[in-house]
Amino acid sequence: MEIAKTIESVRNLVKAARSQGKKIGLVPTMGALHIGHISLIEAAVKRCEFVVVSIFVNPTQFGPGEDFEKYPRPLDADLEICKKAGVDVVFAPAQEQMYGAENLTWINVEKLTEPLCGRFRPGHLRGVTTVCAKLFNIVLPDVAFFGQKDAQQAIVIKRMVADLNMPLEIVVCPTVREPDGLAVSSRNQYLTQQQRKDAALIYKSLQKCQEMVESGVPKTKEIIDQMCKLLNQIPSGKIEYISIVDAETLDSIDQVAGKVLAAVAVRIGSARLIDNILIDTSKQ
């Protein structure tokens, strides 16, 4: 496995692989790798002959007062995980490689970035799309892999790729969960033991939503009220949003119909945790 710290070196490695006719896969990450990331890498290894994992804690997707400084950066452990998983190149650039003194060019996907996390983290998704566009331009992958865990991010990136005719395919992989249902996240390590236990209620609330939809409750308000009751049982929890939206447009809906996305964001102690499920009512 190669470790590329510069744009030039990753470009040269990818160029050599492409000249051998290899399909290039990219898994963009911020490091602190866990089984969720590994599932993306495994999907990439299956689909592509040459897999690049980027590890970059992107400053432009963190707002003031967010956890950019304290975000975990266990690079040696991450490299070990990548090696074991069959990654060909880890691209781990320094900040100066990715951004000059002042960035003047941004990618902003309209409308889809307004609800859900967009409402509570202004500029976050703009930072994500900008860094992904940069990574796509640097690596030129045939396929890039993202997690359903960050549902809005995946939808926004797909839209950016479609609207800007970027020549790659976006694959979205299922959310990997702990045995109690909590979505695996690098931010789970901010939780105390008690908070970690309580955090299982996040997925429980989404399961409640699924059950209510399956039992034919049509009104999203009624469902959200029940989810709210469950999430309010987290003593140190503060609900940021509980939303049931159209899974493609992310528009709010009053009645459950077609493909819907139920998504929640909750602050527990110093951690901001998000999770979601997709429900296709036409299949029920």
Stretch that binds ligand AMP, among 98-106, 142-150, 227-235, 246-254 (CB under 6 A): 142-150
Count of residues making up the chain: 284
Bin 59: left if φ > 0, else alpha if -120 < ψ < 50, else beta: alpha
Q: Is 145 helix (H, G, I), strand (E, B) or coil?
A: strand
Stretch that binds ligand AMP, among 32-40, 159-167, 196-204, 222-230 (CB under 6 A): 32-40
- By CB under 6 A, residue 185 contacts ligand AMP: yes
Per-residue tokens: 192 = 């105390």
Stretch that binds ligand AMP, among 109-117, 177-185, 198-206, 248-256 (CB under 6 A): 177-185
Residue ranges in 198-227 that form contacts with ligand AMP under rule CB under 6 A: none
Q: Is 37 a catalytic residue?
A: yes
- By CB under 6 A, residue 25 contacts ligand AMP: no
Q: Number of residues in contact with ligand AMP, rule: CB under 6 A?
A: 17
- By CB under 6 A, residue 29 contacts ligand AMP: yes
We find the least distance from the C-beta atom of residue 257 to ligand AMP, in angstroms, to be 27
Q: What is the number of the residue whose Cβ is closest to ligand AMP?
A: 147
Q: Based on the number of CB atoms within 10 Å of its own CB, is 215 exposed (0-12), middle (13-18) or buried (19 or more)?
A: exposed
We find the least distance from the C-beta atom of residue 41 to ligand AMP, in angstroms, to be 9
Answer for which of 175, 205, 220, 276 binds ligand AMP (CB under 6 A) is 175
Across the chain, how many H-helices and E-strands are there?
A: 10, 9
- The DSSP code sequence of 221-250 is HHHHHHHHHHHTT-TTEEEEEEEEEETTT-
Question: Taking a C-beta distance cutoff of 8 angstroms, is the pair 73, 220 a contact?
Answer: no
- By CB under 6 A, residue 147 contacts ligand AMP: yes
Instruction: Please give the Cα distance from 207 to 184 (Å, whole number).
Output: 16
Q: Which residues contact 209 (CB under 8 A, 6 or more apart)?
A: 223, 226, 227, 244, 262, 277, 279
Answer for which of 78, 88, 142, 150 binds ligand AMP (CB under 6 A) is 150
Q: Kindly list the catalytic residues.
A: 37
Interacting residues with ligand AMP (CB under 6 A): 29-30, 36-37, 39-40, 146-147, 149-150, 173, 175-176, 183-186
